[in-house]
Structure 1
């Protein structure tokens, strides 16, 4: 980041994540199809979005799957991203300048520049460029309060799926006081189109105190030449910094939130294990699964190999999506069987890697159940093509998408309702 700009890295990070994760937001068929698949990966996007300061999260919502910030709108105003306090904290507030001073004290030496921070009254963080003598690097610390044991908390303490997030090292450990620590050493761009490395440390205590340290081997998070081979702090030094007691004191100074105001209804989706198992059960003969995964949103994937190269197959099963039938994404759709609408797409995948081919079948049933399945001619979205075409044909993808194993047909739903009424 040029020194004369001095923009808020929190805002910059949100904008960058929106641009990187969404790519483009034009309401065309390509973007909408991609959004249908990416919607199932929103937990992974939220994990990356946590980098901006812990309190921000991204969600894929709405018909078009557009990325929206909590509170509505697309303007990355930190005041709209941060959750608003409803009660006064019992610990005195800590200012942004105090957090910057603490970060500098913890680092201990070198030259500091481009310092910025925000206090505990509103999504606290400290951000600066640190030159330890071997090259300037961005180092930042953010703090927030989380609910232990929740899915969101697990996102910060588990290592990401390497199929979608390549990295060099990731380790999770439990400390003597019961806190969980994750040290992650990866890249700013998963496809490594730039050599910028992004290393993080996340600490979550049994009380729900969350401290996150982020560092890069460049003087900006994106779009800046690297200044060194690796970020300045190794795994042991990241652990020492993220576990400094001063950060926990700052977390305690964050005003407590009204949990009832933060509650949001969860979507109903098939269990992750069922999604994966069903997808594997429906694969054509001759395809050997080499890896699989998914999340609680109704999204799953399997990487298959028929002896001719790896092929990524993704599926997203979404209830209550009947409104899509009135949108442009289903214009010209084919009606199949019991009123299910089906469209097909052919494109180059999310990352538009040279030579990549993706085939997609998108369906919405009369009861609103949407099943989207795609196959790629590569083992992952960031991988180079391993074969000329995906391992599954479009007809095979249609057969999987239309399977009754994803949910009851209209006749089955009506029969079930009738039996319930009679009972």
Structure 2
């Protein structure tokens, strides 16, 4: 079991710790959130040490964030160590009520208050919404998906740079994601190589086909990476599975390389 307590109070990023994650990226058995009488937000997530569940090691996490931003987190496993140790019991030792009692103990709040504020945290400036680019990326991606593919799931970073959709043609779900990044011209030579394509307008384009990034057997990932003359990079990838962590639903992704290319080069980005 590992317990962490962080501060300082009113740390805004701490509030992100009490929402259930997107199952497209974090597979889990159950997740529950609760608002406690003192206004604290509590979340318990019952998941696994490895997203692909290649071993039976379970990881349960409880997070509590107080109204002033204090963050207390507990993680527990059903094994003597978090990675590659034999499973010793069907479930981790503490139940959801016990995890709640542990993280909400008042003693942790006094400890958090005693932690000095990090200079890096003080220096960090919020992102100016006017500097965010990419527009409603998830809506753009959904609109560019081919007819005949039903969008059954979608999400992203709030509409600025990253989005994904899960599509289904009636024979199985498959995952498609896009990243839209401005100002990438300085790293063009790191991203592209002499053998890659350069279009008439100066856009550089590369195609990659290989196994998925999460190491799940049978899952493949096809990617079209583009960099426009103004420095805007659009990268779209398609998988032959409903998530990067789940089993393949067929041999090929939902979109062909040519279809991915057409979406990546769309002027709508």
Question: In structure 1, the residue corresponding to 2:208 is in which secondary structure?
Answer: strand
Give the aligned partner of residue 285 of structure 1: 147
Query: Relative to 1, partners in 2 of residues 1:328 and 1:368: Cα closer, same or farther, differing over 3 Å?
Result: closer
Which one has the bigger strand percentage? 2
Check the 8 A contact 1:378/1:386 in 2, yes or no.
Answer: yes
The equivalent of 2:39 in structure 1 is: 178
Q: Secondary structure at the match of 1:236?
A: helix
Cross-structure match for 1:241: 102
Return the alpha-carbon distance in structure 2 between the equivalents of residues 226 and 345 of structure 1: 38
Match 2:67 to one of 199, 202, 206: 206
CA distance in 2, matches of 1:393, 1:318: 23
**Which blocks of at least 5 consecutive residues in structure 1 are unaligned?**
1-138, 407-423
Which of 269, 272, 280 matches 2:133? 269
Deviation at 1:342, TM superposition (A): 0.4
SS at the partner of 2:261?
helix
Q: Is 1:159–2:25 an aligned residue pair?
A: no
Structure 1 residue corresponding to 2:218, chosen from 329, 332, 355 = 355
Q: Which region of structure 1 is more displaced relative to structure 2, 274-283 or 153-162?
A: 153-162
Deviation at 1:188, TM superposition (A): 0.7
Matching residue of 2:161: 298
Shift of residue 328 of structure 1? 5.5
Find the aligned partners of 1:147 and 1:317 in 2 and give their Cα distance.
Answer: 34
Residue of structure 2 equivalent to 1:316: 179
1:234 CA drift (Å): 0.6
* Equivalent of 1:385 in 220, 225, 248: 248
Cα displacement string for residues 263-301 of structure 1 (whole angstroms, at most 9, x for unaligned residues): 476773335xx1111001111111101111111461110
Check whether the contact 1:146–1:153 (CA below 8 A) recurs between aligned residues.
no
For 2:268, the equivalent position in structure 1 comes to 405
Q: Which is helix-richer, 1 or 2?
A: 1
Distance 1:141 1:235 in 2: 15
- Give 1:216's match in structure 2, choosing from 77, 81, 91: 77
- Matched position secondary structure for 1:354: coil
Counterparts of residues 44-59 of structure 1 (less than 5 Å): none
Instruction: Determine which of 367, 371, 378 is the counterpart of 2:234.
Output: 371
Q: Does 2:207 align with 1:344?
A: yes
Match of 1:226, SS? coil
* Kept in 1: contact 2:18–2:63 (CA 8 A): yes
Deviations 1:156-180 (A, max 9, x none): 0111111111111111111111111
CA distance in 2 between partners of 1:377 and 1:337 (Å):
32
Q: Which has the larger radius of gyration?
A: 1
Equivalent pairs, count = 265
Kept in 1, the 8 Å contact 2:182–2:233? The answer is: yes
Question: Using the alignment, how far apart are the partners of 1:234 and 1:369 within structure 2?
Answer: 48
Q: Any idea what SS the aligned residue of 1:405 has?
A: coil
1:385 counterpart SS class: coil
Q: CA RMSD in A?
A: 1.8
d(CA) in 1 for partners of 2:9, 2:140: 32
TM-score by length of 1: 0.60
CA contact (8 A) 1:147 1:153 kept: no
SS at match of 1:277: helix
Q: Structure 2: any 5+ residue segments left out of the alignment?
A: none
1:304-327, Cα deviation, whole Å (9 max, x unpaired): 011232110010001111123212
Per the TM alignment, residue 351 of structure 1 is displaced from its structure 2 partner at its CA by 1.9
